[in-house]
Structure formats: C-alpha cells, structure tokens
Structure 1
C-alpha cells in the first residue's frame, strides 16, 4: 500500500505558540466589503489562535476567501456572503506570530513512511511525457481511499467520450471507485449521444453527423430529464446511465458554449461552484481526466487536505491530460500535491481498468 500521507493535528503546546497573540478580527464595513488588511485564505491547513491557548482549524476550507469569527468559531466564507458587521480575520503574516499559522508541505514531510518514500520518485517528480507512469501506485491510491471509506470525485471531460474511453470508465464505476462525478454539459451530452446513436460529433462505431448531439438533447427533453430517459428504458448504457442506476451524485456545470443545455445542467456559475464546494467537503481523492478549465477550477475550489479522526490527510489529486501545460498549470495554481500524468485518456482508463480486473 502507498498510504495516503497524514499527520496528527498539531498540539501547539509550549513556545513559541503560547507567546503569539490571538488572531485579530475587524468588522466588515458593509455587505460584501472587507476591511483593509484582511487575511485572504489559502488552500493549505490554516490555524487561527482564539484566546491565549486555543488554535482552531476551520471546517470547509477554501482558497481566496475570508475567515469570519462567528460565535466563537472560525468560519470560511466567500466575500459575496460576508454581511456588514461580521468579524473578519486580519493580517497576511502566516507564521503564527499574528495568530494565524499556515502549514505547507513541511507538515507531512516529517512523517513519511517507507512505502511513501519508495513511491516518491513517481509521486513528486516533475511533469513530463518522457516519465513512465506507475499505474500500480495510482490503482493503490484509489483502492486505499475506498478501503478507508473515502470518497473519490472524478472530473471528466468530453474527450473521454470522443476517444471511446467511456466504456473503460464505466468499468471503473462498476468497481465502486467513483463516488462523485463532476462534468460539464458537453460530457453528458456526448455520452448520451454515443449511447443512443453510437457516435459523438460524428466519431464512433456508427456513422453520424454534426446533428446527433442535438438529437440526443432533444430526446432528453422529451423524456423530461436524463434520469427519466434512463427510467424509460431508452438510455441503456454510457457514463450517465451507470451513474444514475448506481445513484452516484453527478454535478453537471454549464458554460457559455453549451448546446441545450440538459435539464440537469446547472447554468449558474456561482451555483456550480457551490455544488462542487459542497461535494468537496466529503471528497478525499480527486481524479481530473482530460479537461483543462474544469480541472483547474476544481483545483482552485478544493483544499489540499482533509481531516479525519483528528488527523490531517493530504488530499490526492491525479490529473491526466495529453498536454503537459494542462497538468503543470494545475500544480502552478496551488494544487501542488497533484500527481501529473501526461497521456491520453483512453490509454489511462484502459490500463487502470485492467488493474482492477486482476
């Protein structure tokens, strides 16, 4: 087993922690307006000192938000949700000396096991198409996450359907390794198009044309929803069918380029963000597959860690794309713990599915 990295929650006993002052909070001058010098949150473990000795780690962390003191608890909020008069954490010093301590990778480095050390060359190496992919480690991460009751979110782009990789992805769904699916409208549409007509934008086993996806959208709207199309017996295969029949929560986020959209598609950007943030609170592993913008946005929404049984766990991100830029961009934007795989989605899913059939 690779073992997902974890450490006990720091105790903050003794010097220098006891000498540091409590975190400072100031009232927001108006709804959605923050006091000058507010603390902008990050996605790493961040503790706030309340009183003389008590350091707290807020729930539902996120980057580019603010920390609010609410009835003795620190709550993380988006700026747009801040009410006038709410107490906002101040200062940008992150070393604890102003009552705010942010932990980076050093939190986990001191307690790395032998199995983790053995996996380090693959887990932490730079992103490159020249570097071989150790699929055994990726399979172990997924299995370990499942074994310990974790939840895996898969963020999947339409290229998975266009490449014919959706069948292997359905195999992974069948193995119980997908707990939450986060996709765009296009992925859902082309998956349904492929299941109904055997083609996705004219590519596939059956001969199709540019209108097939529009016909698929029309079939969904005639039924009333994707779920209703499954219940009617009209939709009998594909990713959406697999998730609906297994009651896997699916978030379909809209965009300005969508056709349709499908009835289940969340067309508000802010509502899509909140849906993913809500799911993030129960997610312990993320796989991003062949989707650049959706993947980077997901990385920005998620923290780099989660808490279970009084321990802080590093939250694994596995990101797969043909373009090295897509993989490195995610790491550069704050998801530094991401494991990058440069390769095509079809090969990745086929090899990974094969690992779970052994």
Structure 2
C-alpha cells in the first residue's frame, strides 16, 4: 500500500470551553531578551491561542519558545534571546482552552490500539523487531522524496565504514535528502575518507590502521583551509565520492555546527552556537522527516527545535522523526518528547544505511 499522510483533526472551536473562553492574556516585554512573568512556553505540539476573539495556531512552533502576537493577530514562536522591548507575549499556563490557550496533544487521526491493559515487549530496545519500522520508513521516504523535506542529522560514525559512506552518498544523489545537519567531525572524516581512504587514520574498508594515520584528519583540514573552501578543495583535489561531495553536487544545504572539541575547524563550520542554532532552525522549520544517526548531542539539539507538525502547502501534517543508534539510551532520550515525534531504532547505523540504500536506490 502506498504511503498516506494521516489526517489532521482540528479542535472544534464551536464547542465549550472554546466559545466562552476569554482572549489569552498578553504582556509586553520590558527588557531585551527577558520574557514577562507568567509567560507561556511552547511545546512540540500544535497550540492555539485566542486573540481578538479568534483561535489561531502558532506559526512554525518550536519547543521552549514563547508565543508573540504580531500584527493582525499572527502568532510567532520566538526564542528568549530574540525578544525585544514592546513584543506582545502571551502569558498563562493553563492549556485546556478555558483561558484562551489550548495545547492539541492528539492532532492526527491514529489507528486504534489494542485494548489489552497488560502486554509484553512494548518498549523499544535491542530485542525489538524493527522489520515493520523499516517497511514504513521505505514507504515514507519514497513519498517524502517528492512531496516533503528530509533532513539527515549525522554523526561521524556514518562515514567510518566504506559501505555506509557509499550508501548515504547514493541516497543523497537519488533525492532522499534535502538538508544535512552535522558537525566538523563528520565532514572532516568524510573528506579524509574520500582523499586518503581513511577515517581518523583507519582504513574505511579494511579497518586497518595506516602509518601516521593520526595525522590524516589534521592534514585534511589544513589542506582544505589552504584552498579556502570545501568546494574548492573538492574541485582541485579531484574528489569524486563521499557524503560532502554528493551534497555539494546535489546543491542541498549542509549545516555544520561547531563544538569546543573541534580540530581546525573546516571552513563553513559555524563557531557561534546561536548562529548555528538559527541555521539549523532555518532547515528544521521546513522539515517533514528527520533521520538522526549516531549523534546524541546533535539529535537532542535538532529534536528540541523540531515540532511534531508542519504547515506545508496549506495542509497541517506530521513531522516524522527517527533516531537510530546502537545505544538504547541514546535513541530513547528523545522518545520522552512524545510518540508522535520520535521512532527509535536500536541498530548499527552502518547496517541501517545499507538497508535503506538496498531498498530505495535502483
């Protein structure tokens, strides 16, 4: 069966308590970057606010932001650091609709679950069978390639192996990626693998250590810095494979967020954490599917700025979020955000990528 988006079910605002509810409270910002007392904090779920006697859905919602009322009653999600004096912030922490604020926790029509109170193996662990999850993901990816916006959140482990590096490159080349979010390490070791066939000095196919291999990533960074850009390095060194090569060739955004652990770093790595957050949010606000691979910190960061829904072409639809890691703790870290937004798969990310390539790439 071909993939079909679930139907968004809007609250019935013609019923109580919505009809009798007053407009949501509003207070103005009095100091730059400081929300007024009693501010309302947004979640990953759709939230409606009654402004000028009309219920409105917040635009491009993001968790841990505050709702700000703009002209004509438009409501925007704004980070604390981006609040300015005079901004009209919605205040109030009752979310059941009685006071002009409603959090819609069940927005999409879902199939009925078993009525059994007790059942085995309801969690997600290394013992879970993920066959159905893979099948669902294949169908989702085929749909999203042409109708959605797929973001990959990548840790360096995805390119430590020749086969997974090649698999992800082919997925990018065949349209199964619209943006990449990662850090300096992934890009560095990917380019190292394309230039020297190693990652951190280890052969990406045989896993053998190369003599003086611990210099390889530093030599790679130094060479790219000499050229001044990753694009120029790829051109001058005749690089013709790899994740970075495929992404640049395809013309998709690659956001590399810096870290205190970085060597170098490479050109285009964003060193200012708030600039990196803004760049990531520019992508995640368009996301319809997010696939996070073996990078706990980047996964949490991306999860915190990605809502469970998006308004695309006038239609509200879910954002699918997959977290893949060999560690149960890592993949379940985000599951606490709600079952609508995260599907954890406990597996080796190299095997995961090869499975996707084998089922999606002709």
The TM-score normalised by the length of structure 1 is 0.91
Cα distance in 2, alignment partners of residues 82 and 8 from structure 1? 32
Cα distance in 2, alignment partners of residues 127 and 315 from structure 1? 20
Determine the structure 2 residue equivalent to 1:86: 87
Cα distance in 2, alignment partners of residues 357 and 336 from structure 1? 28
Q: Secondary structure at the match of 2:59?
A: coil
Aligned pairs for 1:21-36 within 5 A: 21-36=22-37
Determine the structure 2 residue equivalent to 1:126: 123
Task: Give the Å deviation of 1:220.
Answer: 0.7
Cα distance per residue 1:231-254 (max 9 Å; x no partner): 324322111001011101110110
Q: 2:151 aligns with which of 131, 150, 153?
A: 153
Determine the structure 2 residue equivalent to 1:112: 110
Q: Cα–Cα, structure 1 residues 351 and 306, in superposed 2: closer, same or farther, change >3 Å?
A: same
- 1:244 paired to 2:245: no
Would you say the 8 A contact 1:136–1:355 is kept in 2? no
Structure 1, gaps ≥5 residues long:
118-123
Would you say the 8 A contact 2:310–2:319 is kept in 1? yes
Aligned pairs for 1:1-358 within 5 A: 1-52=2-53, 54-71=54-71, 72-104=73-105, 106-108=106-108, 111-112=109-110, 126-134=123-131, 135-147=134-146, 149-164=147-162, 165-204=164-203, 205=205, 207-208=210-211, 209-333=213-337, 337-357=341-361
Cα distance per residue 1:76-107 (max 9 Å; x no partner): 11111111222111111111111011111x22
Task: Give the Å deviation of 1:36.
Answer: 1.2
Superposition CA RMSD, Å: 2.0
Determine the structure 2 residue equivalent to 1:120: none
Q: Secondary structure at the match of 1:256?
A: coil
Task: Give the Å deviation of 1:202.
Answer: 1.9
Would you say the 8 A contact 1:25–1:88 is kept in 2? yes
Task: Give the Å deviation of 1:11.
Answer: 5.0
Q: Secondary structure at the match of 1:182?
A: strand
Would you say the 8 A contact 1:193–1:200 is kept in 2? yes
* Segment of structure 1 superposing worse, 291-300 or 7-16: 7-16
Structure 2, gaps ≥5 residues long:
115-120
Would you say the 8 A contact 2:10–2:107 is kept in 1? no
Task: Give the Å deviation of 1:283.
Answer: 1.2
Q: Secondary structure at the match of 2:8?
A: strand
